[in-house]
Chain A
Amino acid sequence: MKKFFSIFIQKIKPRFLEPHPRETASPSLFNYKSFWIGSINLLTIVTVVPLFILSMINLNLTREAINKENSLRTIRLTSNARRTVTFFLKERLDAMRFVLQNERLETLKDPEDLASILESLQIGFGSTLDLGVLDESGLQINYVGPFDLTGKSYTDRKWFKECVKNGSSVSDVFLGYRQIPHTIISVKSEVNNSFVILRATLDIKKFVQILSSIDLSEKSDAFIVNREGYLQTPSKYYGNIFEKVTIPLPEYSESSRVFTFEDQSGRKVMAGYAFIEDSPYILMLVKQSTDIMQSWFAVRKEIIFFFILSAVVLFLIILRITTFMVNKVYEADQTRLDAMERLAQSSRLISIGRLAAGVAHEINNPLAIINENAGLIKDLFVYKKQYEPGHRLMGLIDTVLESVDRCGQITRQLLAFARDFKPKIQSLHINKIVSEVLIFLKKEAVYRDIKIDVDIPEDLPVIHSDHGSLQQIFLNLINNAFQAMEDGGHLEIKAARKNENQILVSVKDDGCGISEEEQKKIFEPFYTSKGTKGGTGLGLSITFGLVKKLDGEIYLESKPGQGAKFSIILPLRPKGDNQDENLTG
């Protein structure tokens, strides 16, 4: 896991954050960091934002669907409960109408007969506590029940007036003599241009029973209020019976409906309601929003989880792809800059070379004059007797001649450096060339006890190149290594096939090494680290130029005190060589 994590970190870590080996800061096409961050931001926005919007839409749609489902469920439950309550009342009213229709007035006025009817109603329908018969003045002319209410007048009672007006009525729930919540239902029947009213007292236990049988959760509540908002049945959360409920009363509707409101605690509440037909009752079914939205919360949790998961996965993919792309741009840019740097270096070297060649030519003629005149002075001292050959004078002339010789060497190398020769291409064996070069240096190696190891495989392919140039390249490099090494040093010359078209030859010494600062200038003409040892500072410049002319590359790896390794990559065939060595020879 740790390994996987570390590999992943490597994959998403942009390469441009690591220090580049190139010391000199070259102008770059891009600000990679801002390009990288900008790309990540842009891609993240164009992918995560639509995902976020879709998730939000999904959330809203789901919430609406759940809301709708809850509303429908509440309406359905309310309707079912209303049907039950309505049926309960209608059943009893119809039973009483049946009694009024089928029994004679005398029977109704007879207490025993009325008691018999009450008994039948109690057996048939239950919940009927008493039964009374009222004349048109509202006087109760007959009564059977637990109290003695015969002769009691109900003229001013609301239910009586409604019954007279509508033919039947259901009263609000009240305590009355019984001190238990009950309601009165009554029906009217016309008799000989007059009417009688049959009234019954109903226990509301049945209502409570109906309401408690509704399938509701713990936090939901079902109750009945009258049109003024007074509770007709007990409520769990909105007050005791006969108290006014703390929720807004809905407008009249024939069908079951829902509405939402905020309760006293500020919580969102959904209420289903239904007006009970031919009664003052409103059936209410109230659900807390937390209860209603329980399923919504679960869905929301899932949607948010998948959104976060998707966003994280998308971000990681974006990070990986962006890093990959920016790395590619960075590498291409670095390659371009490297090429430009090499080109600039080559151009600089060529310019310096041309300038140097011009200077060398101009210097060679006066040098020749100094050389010949100083030589003549020496000759005169040596060969002519009239001139006294003073020891000091001879020493001075020798110094002049040595200096001229040294200047001559410099100018000759300068000219060689600038010489625009055309390579003579022929088939060559690298080991043969190295052997030829080592012959020149063998004596010095023996004298200085320098160990030379040559590792060039026999099967190394033949290279098509310029013999003289290769000799000079290896001579310069090996000579350079000799000068860098102390006596008893170790030189390694290796060659190997690099790929199908190139070979790699390296010359490695264990000498003093070259500092990074020196490495930057090592191929420039006249740059020498040999101080007063007599280096012209042209050997490596010439080598560089020759390698370039042979379509090769030269690299240096070195650290101060750890020797230096020059690696030359040479093509098996130079560019433009048509494989026919005779043509180029």
Chain B
Amino acid sequence: MKILLVDDEEKFISSLAERLEIRGIDSDWATCGDEAISKVKENSYDVAVLDIKMPGLSGLELKGKLETIDEKLKFIFVTGHGSEEDYVAGCKEGCFYIIKPFKIDDLVEKLKETMAF
């Protein structure tokens, strides 16, 4: 399984990627939407874990763009905000929705479930 983590918090995303790597999940990361788009264009990922609220492209907008590049790509949303809009958006997209901070095992579980679909 190869995943792409996208979050504007570099210190968060880099550590998370490393922890997933330790757990045998091939992880790459990007700190903004544009970087994520170019990475998806260059590589093939199974799941993209997107932060909903980011400067520039939001997680939801980014999902739309990434889908056009790789239609097989699956998504999980993470957010520090538990607002209704985020929740509804996440549900509408048919994706898992995780609120920060979360346990790494929870994310791993959600990744496996996403892959299983």
Q: Show the binding face of A for B, using Cβ within 8 Å.
A: 357, 360-362, 364-365, 367-373, 375-376, 379-380, 383-384, 404-405, 407-408, 412, 415-416, 419-422
Contacts and interface: CB of A to CB of B under 8 A. Distances in A.
A404 B104 CA distance: 13
A416 B19 contact: no
Nearest to A371: B101
Interface string B77-102: 00011111001000000000001111
Contacts of B116: none
Contact of A365 (B84, B100, B102): B100
Interface residues of B, number: 20
Given A375-B19, A379-B19, A364 B100 contact: yes
Contact of B9 (A357, A360, A369, A407): A369
A567 B2 CA distance: 52
B104 A367 contact: no
A208 B82 CA distance: 124
Contact of A373 (B15, B80, B103): B15
Contact of B80 (A368, A379, A421): A368
Given A361-B81, A412-B82, A368 B22 contact: no
A415 B101 CA distance: 13
A404 B101 contact: yes
B101 A367 contact: yes
Contacts of B11: 369, 372-373
B18 A376 contact: yes
B103 A379 contact: no
Nearest to B16: A372
Interface in B5-26: 9, 11-12, 15-16, 18-19, 22
Contacts of A379: 18-19, 22
Contacts of B99: 364, 408, 412, 415
A379 B22 CA distance: 7
A368 B84 contact: no
Contact of A364 (B18, B80, B87): B80
Contacts of B102: 368, 371, 408
A383 B19 CA distance: 10
A362 B82 CA distance: 11
B81 A415 contact: yes
A364 B84 contact: no
19 contacts: A357-B82, A357-B83, A360-B82, A361-B81, A362-B80, A365-B100, A369-B12, A371-B102, A372-B12, A372-B15, A372-B104, A375-B19, A375-B104, A376-B15, A379-B18, A379-B22, A383-B22, A407-B101, A415-B83
A422 B52 CA distance: 21
Contacts, number: 77
- Which 9 pairs of residues, A with B, have the shortest CB-CB distance? A415-B82, A364-B80, A368-B100, A372-B15, A371-B101, A368-B101, A376-B15, A361-B81, A367-B101
Nearest to A378: B19
Interface of B: 9, 11-12, 15-16, 18-19, 22, 80-84, 87, 99-104
Nearest to A365: B80
A389 B103 CA distance: 21
A405 B84 CA distance: 23
Contact of B101 (A364, A384, A419): A364
A372 B19 contact: yes
Given A369-B12, A375-B15, 13 more contacts: A357-B83, A361-B81, A368-B12, A369-B15, A371-B100, A373-B11, A376-B19, A380-B22, A408-B100, A412-B82, A415-B82, A419-B87, A420-B84
A364 B12 contact: no
Contacts of B100: 364-365, 367-368, 371, 408
A408 B22 CA distance: 24
Contacts of B18: 376, 379
Which of A368, A371, A415, A420 is packed against the most chain B CB atoms within 10 Å? A368
Contacts of A384: 22
Contacts of A415: 81-83, 99
A229 B84 CA distance: 119
Nearest to A415: B82
A373 B14 CA distance: 9
Contacts of A420: 84
Contacts of B101: 364, 367-368, 370-372, 404-405, 407-408
Nearest to B13: A372
Contacts of A404: 101
Contacts of A362: 80
B79 to A, nearest CB: 8
A121 to B, nearest CB: 138
Contacts of B12: 365, 368-369, 372
Nearest to A421: B84
B44 to A, nearest CB: 25
A365 B52 CA distance: 12
A419 B15 contact: no
Nearest to A380: B22
Contacts of B82: 357, 360-361, 412, 415-416, 419
A464 to B, nearest CB: 21
Nearest to A370: B101
A455 to B, nearest CB: 36
A444 to B, nearest CB: 22
Contacts of A412: 82, 99
Nearest to A373: B15
A181 to B, nearest CB: 127
Contact of A419 (B19, B22, B84, B104): B84
Nearest to B10: A369
- By CB atoms of chain B within 10 A, which of A370, A373, A384 has the most? A373
Contacts of A419: 82-84, 87
Contacts of A416: 82
A364 B79 CA distance: 8
Nearest to B100: A368
Contacts of A376: 15, 18-19
A134 to B, nearest CB: 143
Contacts of A357: 81-83
Nearest to A408: B101
Contacts of B16: 372
Contact of B103 (A369, A405, A422): A405
B116 to A, nearest CB: 24
A380 to B, nearest CB: 8
A380 B84 CA distance: 37
